[in-house]
Amino acid sequence: MRLDKYLTDCFLGTRKEAKTLIKKGLIKVNDKIIIKEDYNINESIDIVTYNGNILKYQRYYYYLLNKPKGYICANQDDTHHVVMELFNNLPKKLVEELLIVGRLDLDTEGMLIITNDGNFVHTLTSPNSHIEKVYYVEYDKELPDDAPTILENPVILKNTTYLPSKLVIIDKNKAYLTIKEGQFHQVKRMIHYLGSDVTYLKRVQIGNLKLPDDLPIGKYIELTQNDLKLLIS
């Protein structure tokens, strides 16, 4: 990798600014000053420093956001707040690269995965992956006693077939619903099919990774490699 690109990937300014830093002799590779912007480095082995500080190279970033109501899953919008606003403390270049994995409605809260790894996005969202998503649901009318049994079978609504799901009723107006898809308004449509309407919806788990209880609404954490394994397991 070219040295100037390495610096921009470490968010040390634009490519032009990176070239200026190199020409000024402010960048060292393996404790040696390098003044050639096209100097080739191995990002896995070489140690690059700026003003004595080691620059950490990281190609992919993975975040878990506890999405609040009132934010849409988009990079920009003229009408509503967008979830990317909640990452305003990250480098602008990185935020521009971030992708949203499995969108949540404007009025839905909870677990949202954000990353700049396109292959990982495909793995999580592919129709063939069947990764389970768990939602905490509140609704206005008590569901029928056989509601869990009904959803154990495929449900056809408006020419759309939903895969079998798991409904665990925890109170007369509260339940957990586990689905293996993420189709438009799917949870709301399934609850409506059972004779009720959703009043509150929050995604609390993807795969085997749960939304941390201590993560405040509107905040995010960076995921570990172990977290990523839990997501797709």
Give the largest CA-CA distance in the chain.
74
Residue 219 CA to residue 217 CA, distance in Å, equals 6
Identity at 89, one-letter amino acid code: N
Which residues have C-beta within 8 Å of that of residue 105, sequence separation ≥ 6?
185, 188, 201
Q: What is the pTM of this model?
A: 0.89
Domain positions in the chain are: 3-54, 62-127+208-231, 133-206
Q: Could you confirm whether 105 is annotated as catalytic?
A: yes
Residue 130 CA to residue 140 CA, distance in Å, equals 29
H helical segments located in 101-223? 118-125, 147-151, 186-193
Residue 229 CA to residue 185 CA, distance in Å, equals 27
Identity at 97, one-letter amino acid code: E
The CATH class for the domain spanning 62-127+208-231 reads alpha beta
The CATH class for the domain spanning 133-206 reads alpha beta
Residue 218 CA to residue 186 CA, distance in Å, equals 23
Answer whether 62-127+208-231 and 133-206 agree in fold. yes
Dihedral sign for Cα atoms in the order 17, 20, 26, 29: positive
Q: Which CATH architecture has domain 3-54?
A: Roll (3.10)
Type and span of the H or E element at 168: strand 166-171
What pLDDT score does 26 carry? 94
Q: Which long-range contacts (CB under 8 A, 24 or more apart) does 150-159 make?
A: 150/194, 151/177, 151/190, 151/194, 155/190, 155/193, 157/189, 157/190, 157/193, 158/189
pLDDT tens per residue, the chain (233 residues)? 999 999 999 998 889 999 999 999 999 999 999 999 999 999 989 999 998 899 999 999 999 999 999 999 988 888 999 999 999 899 988 999 999 998 899 999 999 999 999 999 999 988 788 899 999 999 999 999 999 999 999 999 888 899 999 999 999 999 999 999 888 889 999 999 999 999 999 999 999 999 999 999 999 999 999 999 999 88
Q: Which of 9, 46, 105, 227 is catalytic?
A: 105
